Chain A
Amino acid sequence: MIQVKNLSKSYGNLQVLRDIDLSFAEGEFVSLVGPSGSGKSTLLGLLAGLDQATSGAVTIDGQELGRLDEEALARFRGANLGFVFQAYHLIPTLTALENIALPLELKHDREAWKRAQIWLERVGLGDRADHLPRQLSGGEQQRVAIARALVAEPKVLFADEPTGNLDSANGAKILDLILSLRGRVTTVLVTHDPALAARADRTIALKDGRIANVSSTPSSR
């Protein structure tokens, strides 16, 4: 599903990623781990087409992201990728239901509201449809964010520390949600939490911008 070849990224003189080669299979659940500054978030940004590599290429489902301009990238993201962030990043002026429906509305999907409602129910917030983000708890906001990421049925889900701002109970609920996608949606999860990483199909450890270790955890399936 995702191929990464000789991927490097530098900011001025600071080299953040060096010659990364990776591939991710369809439906695979991969965790990216490493200490702060190791390049996890940078790699996630490049994989998701949020940033441009200094050199190398990222190909998702046969499409090399570097060949797309900003507009085409936005369309590609809308059609193929889903995102979950540590800080939720919901639009504060839209209700929970509207936040979920947003990716479909942008594509003028006639079923947007119906599908958004289904996902709202699926993440257990059917009674929170008209609530604004500030009226929801952190865990609820993150569930809305996951529903928004999945409502357009993406092929790949990128999650950056999705439980980082949550207590353990809410973190567990979110993790269960993400794990339920295993086998259907390719998931790339950035985390500091070793226990969370251990539940992935494969764990890629980064250090100083390079891949330090790749370990498979088949038992987690």
Chain B
Amino acid sequence: MILARLALRELLRSSGKLVLPVLCLAVAVAAHSSTKSLSARILDSMNREARAMAGGDLEIGSPRPLSSESRALALAALPPGTETATVKEFLSMARDPKTDRTRMVEVRAVSGGFPFYGGVETAPADSLPLLEQDVVALAQPEITPQLGVTTGGEIRLGQATFKIGALVIHEPGPAPGAFALGPRIWISERALARTKLEQTGSRIRYRTVFKIEKVATDEQIENWKNMIDTILADPGLRVRTYKEANPQLRGFYERLTDFLSLMSLFVFLLAGIGVASSLQSHLRSRLATVAILRCVGASSRQILGIFLSQAVCIGALGSAIGVAAGALLSRALPSLLGQLVDFPSVSGAVASSGMVYIFSFGLGLAITLLFSAVSLVELPDVRPLRLLRPEDGIATPGWKKIVAGAASVLLLMAVGTVETGSIAYGGGTVAGIVAFGALVFGVIFALLTASSRFRLLQLPFALRYGTKNLFRSRAQSSLTIAVLSLGILLLASVQVLRGGMLGELTGAQASLRPQLFLIDIGDEQRAGVEKLLHGISRPARFNWNKLIRARMKSVNGEAVKREPDGNRDDAPANRSREYNLSERESLYAEAESVVGGKFWSAPLAPGGVPEVSVADTFADRAGIKLNDRILFEIQGVEITARVTSLRRVRWSTFQPNFMVLFRPGSLEGAPFQWITSVGGVSPAEKSRAQSELVRDYPTVTAIDIDEVTGRLLDVAGRLEAVVKFLSAFTLAAGLLILAMMAIENARARSPEIALLKVLGGTRSDLAAAVGWEFTLLGAVAAFAGALGALALGYGILRNRFGVEPNLLTPEALGLLALLVLGSAFTGLIASLRVFRVKPLETLRS
């Protein structure tokens, strides 16, 4: 009992010092709980609406219409009474026949009572059956502002005219504007035939959807899926349960939530360091109490109990404040992400996320205890001899602290792994961050050790004293710099990535970008399309490419088995799906460069071995190397080709490009369509070109590239806002730690500062010295963080997108300067109290 009282009173006595670690932890828990709460609500929404989004219980996705034999085999494997429907989805152009205005739209052609599950709301209500009249289309309301037609109006799709029978005001899943390139138009499958938009090589996504008659469990559905998979045995087909439908959408949200989770763990890491550092200082100030307790017979366990209970109090208080703040902040996050999370259940009232908050609270407590362990392991080594010899040190073996620190990092890695479901991604990211911090610590410590012998006599007092202070406690200075650099790394990385991508999408490159992208052009249409566009814009430039759909059957004789869809950027590529390929004689200088092997310079000679050039990022993910032999199946014809070069593709140039390019002459006779970019067209000409193309060539789809980049920038901007939101937490945690360390330094230096005052030092002298010390500290941290960000940016931007990272933007440099000033300011504020202390008081004490 007396020990509990002692623990509480010691805690209250040190409460002033412990405010900052409590706040630091609260910041981390708030970041974690708010992002986890949002993630939970997104995934919960996805799961709850999954059936409605899929429209059935099971589906078979295919690059071509599912054969009647395959459909019959699938139905035979399913319980009697199973209903089936087909869905065909593709991009196309809609035109208002009255005004000739055009708009890209997503066409969904359905049959057989799709969707089997509700969730689609129309105005007027229950209008889906209108689709049975083949002249009627339903459209999302965005069609009205974009094309100027509404219910009762007419649009042309391909070669058919439709009357808008109703507006689709709600569909399951995220808001229509989040990802789509245009509003969705619903028509019947029969009506699709009238449009003549479904042709060989058309980029149509086919889905055959099944509804089991009786309500089935998820396990049963999974079993039926596996059974159908085995029976059909076609790697080109993707059998999915309703939960696996919409893999791209699900993948996006999984990546988003994983990212949010990792960011919040990053804040936790900083908070853990802050808590550990602060508890270390707290324990150091209570060593006399520990020695007295040892002297009067207290066991290690009893002493440990006192300080452990204090750590629990700090952890519980910080976590509780954090959870409360997180609950409030979780309301702000959806507004930052806007349409990306515009699910009714996500953006509406904050649902109770009890488990999330309990988890965040528990994690805050666990992080506190584990990071505290780095200091608590010293307790058994405090000897009562200190009471006779206060200078008696604590001989805690280094391995104890290393084990405690490693356990803390392992916990974070484990949480990262559990939250992202990937050791490499979750655990690896945490390990990478820790490794970066450790590297900065090591380098700075070595530099400080090496330079500490310099006397710096030529420097003025304030600069010399401030610089020497960094050398005084090299470990502490190195740790502070490492912690700050981690925070700066994150902020600077955002700047680097943003600067690189924005520069690519809106900078000088943008003027070289084509204005239109034309797809689904038949061979017989090519000359006419080119002539039409030249009639509108004389300088129009084209990059014609054949588009051939093909599938890999084997690599080096090893059959390609059905592979899952990888959701992450680093996941293995799904080699079994159907790909768009092309053939070209030369590379686009502004968009491609050879990074391995040799690109051909002439078409394939008759009888020669076909060759392919593979995009390097795809080769990495698909495990393809130079000289591999790949067997392709192109519409039933098999061709074996050797990989003779690897290309780095700069996709942001918006030139027609492909994962795999064949050497011309290899694909003679293969069915194809043309695809081209069109450059050199003014905005007015572009609009006219779209209208006339759709009028004269209704099956051709003309994608407005400015609109696509606008959408990309919008999505990127939303994500950037969230990253900045979370970066603010890391910055807050970093500055709190800086403040803690500055206060501790000031306290330890109090007698020295008093002495300097006695010797004639003024407050401004001392402030200049401390200001310089923390400016230097912030500058070194900023430099280290910026270097790390550049390395990261180099890895991501250059390797993934072929874009050079750049940190020399005014915004990024301004941010770094602000951080350095922030460091100096924090140091000064934290030291103010010591500056004000009267020298006599300090010297007497």
Contact = CB atoms under 8 A, between A and B. Distances in A.
Given A74-B299, A78-B296, A50 B2 contact: no
Contacts of A89: 288, 291-292, 295, 387
Interface string B379-420: 010011101110000000000000000000000000000000
Nearest to A148: B296
Contacts of A92: 13, 289
Interface residues of A, number: 32
A114 interface: no
A78 B300 CA distance: 13
Interface stretch (A102-110, A173-181, A201-209): A102-110
Contacts of A98: 2, 5-6
B194 interface: no
Interface residues of B, number: 28
Interface string B265-285: 000000000000000000000
A70 B807 CA distance: 56
Interface in A39-83: 41, 44-45, 50-51, 70-71, 74-75, 77-79, 83
A51 B297 contact: no
Nearest to B384: A50
B297 A93 contact: no
Interface class of chain A by DSSP = helix
A93 B388 contact: no
B387 A50 contact: yes
Contacts of A91: 6, 289, 292-293
A192 to B, nearest CB: 15
A87 B389 CA distance: 11
Interface class of chain B by DSSP = helix
A106 B296 contact: yes
A140 interface: no
B2 A94 contact: yes
B492 to A, nearest CB: 45
Contacts of A87: 387
Nearest to A75: B297
B294 interface: yes
A85 interface: yes
B10 A83 contact: no
Contact of A74 (B2, B289, B297, B385): B297
A105 B295 contact: no
Contact of B388 (A71, A78, A102, A160): A160
A51 B385 contact: yes
A144 interface: no
B637 interface: no
Given A106-B298, A106-B302, A83 B6 contact: no
Contact of A77 (B5, B288, B296, B380): B296
Contact of A103 (B297, B299, B385): B297
B388 A44 contact: yes
Given A70-B380, A94-B5, A105-B2, A83 B387 contact: yes
Nearest to A105: B2
A51 B296 contact: no
Interface string B302-323: 1000000000000000000000
A101 interface: yes
A198 to B, nearest CB: 24
A92 B288 CA distance: 10
B621 to A, nearest CB: 57
B288 A71 contact: no
7 contacts: A45-B388, A50-B383, A77-B295, A85-B387, A85-B388, A98-B6, A103-B297
Ordered nearest first, which 10 A-B pairs have the shortest CB separation? A78-B297, A93-B9, A105-B2, A103-B296, A50-B385, A51-B385, A50-B384, A41-B388, A106-B298, A45-B388
Interface of B: 1-3, 5-6, 9-10, 13, 288-289, 291-300, 302, 380, 383-385, 387-389
Given A71-B300, A93-B10, A94-B9, 4 more contacts: A75-B297, A78-B296, A106-B298, A160-B388
